[in-house]
Chains A and B, each alone.
Chain A
Amino acid sequence: MYEMYTEVTTAMKARTIRRHFRESIKSLGRNGWMTFASISAVTVTLLLVGVFTIIMMNLNKVADDIENDVEIKVLIDIISDPTEAQAAEEQLMEEIRGLPGVEEVVYSSKEEELNLLIAGYGEELSLFEQSNPLNNVLYVKATEPQQTASVAKAIEKFEHTQEVKYGEGKVEKLFSFLNTSRNVGLILIVGLLFTAIFLISNTIRITIIARRDEIEIMKLVGATNSFVRIPFVLEGMWLGVLGALIPIAVVSIVYVNIFNIVQPKLDGEFLQLLSATPLLYQVNGLLLIMGVFIGIWGSFMSVRKFLKV
């Protein structure tokens, strides 16, 4: 007979949901400085996360740019007969294009090469225009920068290649350095995220401990756990949203300003900053989601403890 008593209905009335939202907002005002403390904790940690994420993403971009700038320079054998030379060059290009992992092959004649040198080192070199000692050259780019070395090795085996250069040794060191710094950055961001979660949920817990009486009374007059919990969880969500606003504004304004100052100086260089869109949308979205998630999670976990009345 006793078993006939079922659970308190969990289907919530629309009126109750409205009440929860109203209560959660009222509660922010009622708990004045506690709300302020929680929002400050969210603000400070999200600001750190935001600034750091933007720096890391730009460093990552720089690393990508450096890697992508790596290319293979193939000096073609000098062949005196022009038709024979052309045939050889075309054959070599076809062979290189046929290799796996090759993205792009660009031909540069010895005249173009000399012009590059003249542009780089000065007019004195124009003496060589009479008898150009340079080779015709192929510039080869690998699809993945890491494949550069193996592609270069493969090209060396082809006929009509005099020399294949790609900065052997240096490139490998550069790649491993860039990989290490990317990993270090990732670890730092993950560490920062955990610190943020810990700090924010702790602050929320303190504010909820201050209100344990309220929870106890609700339970004593017959409130279900979810009825007690939902306003707190919604309040945590507001704390996350409010706490994310300042970091979002600061990060956006500062980055746009830095971008406008630095970018003109990098014009034409292979290194570029990430442009504000979509970077800021991504980072700001991350901050907002983190704030909301941590707020909700922190409240949920903290209330749970006091529901056992």
Chain B
Amino acid sequence: MIQMNNVVKKYPNGVVAANGISIDIQKGEFVYVVGPSGAGKSTFIKLMYREEKPTSGEVVIAGMDLTKLKNRQVPLLRRQLGVVFQDFKLLPRLNVYENVAFALEVIEENPKDIRKRVMDVLDLVGLKHKVRMFPNELSGGEQQRVAIARSIVNMPKVVIADEPTGNLDPETSWEIMNIFEEINTRGTTIVMATHNREIVNTIRKRVIAIEGGLIVRDVYGGDYGYES
């Protein structure tokens, strides 16, 4: 589902955020990406949804070679992916329903299908009763659940999450993790960058540790491995 071969990413300011990363993530896997701040986690994540282009090497996501992908074709890639962020990135002027429906409107889905699909995913994240509320009326956990609903509403093959529990209290974080596990059991591949030691050590999954732009550890069912 996700392959990287010898990927190097050098920023114009000289920072080398990826220094020869090779990885193979199969369909249906759940992968944590851990490592100290500034080690290259975010770049690793951004390379997957093509916010950043690699300086050299090869990135293949869901059968698309990102190094050969033209700018015009990037929307096609994004429609195969769901992306979740630490700061939720909801549109403040749209209510819960509109925020989720937005992801389908943008790809010009049929309005009849939109309603059903949106309500289905809001049911999955447990927010069916708050569809008319606006982001500022919701708690952090609820906002993140809306963001997750938006990321999966177009039935992506992969969900990429960049520290999705970073802004949430521990209890809420567990709720969010339950949702991700649920999505994963339905067959969606999940790649999650995280600093949450407790979660990684409790819900055991494949752990990829990145330091200095290199993969230093890749263990199935591994632990967090850093003092937090």
Residues of A whose CB lies within 8 Å of any CB of B are 1-3, 5-8, 12-13, 15-16, 19, 30, 213-214, 216-225, 227, 309
Contacts and interface: CB of A to CB of B under 8 A. Distances in A.
> Among B51, B91, B93, B106, which residue has the most Cβ atoms of chain A within 10 A?
B106
Contact of A222 (B51, B65, B72, B79): B79
B4 interface: no
A8 B79 CA distance: 10
Contacts of B73: 5-8
A223 to B, nearest CB: 4
B113 interface: no
Contact of A2 (B49, B63, B75, B107): B63
27 contacts: A2-B60, A2-B64, A3-B68, A5-B64, A7-B70, A7-B72, A7-B73, A8-B75, A8-B76, A15-B111, A30-B93, A213-B91, A217-B102, A219-B75, A220-B83, A220-B89, A221-B103, A221-B107, A221-B154, A222-B103, A222-B106, A222-B154, A223-B75, A223-B107, A224-B72, A224-B75, A309-B51
Contacts of B79: 221-222
A246 to B, nearest CB: 27
Given A217-B91, A220-B83, A222-B107, A5 B76 contact: yes
A19 to B, nearest CB: 7
Contact of B106 (A3, A15, A221): A221
Contacts, number: 70
Contacts of B78: 219-222
Interface of B: 49, 51, 60, 63-65, 68-70, 72-79, 83, 89, 91, 93, 102-103, 105-108, 111, 150, 154
Given A2-B64, A19-B105, A218-B106, A8 B72 contact: yes
Given A19-B105, A217-B91, A225-B72, 7 more contacts: A7-B73, A15-B108, A220-B49, A221-B79, A221-B150, A222-B75, A222-B79
Contacts of A216: 89
Nearest to B60: A2
B91 to A, nearest CB: 6
Contacts of B70: 7
Nearest to A227: B106
Contacts of A224: 72, 75
A2 B68 contact: yes
B89 A13 contact: no
Contacts of A222: 75-79, 103, 106-107, 154
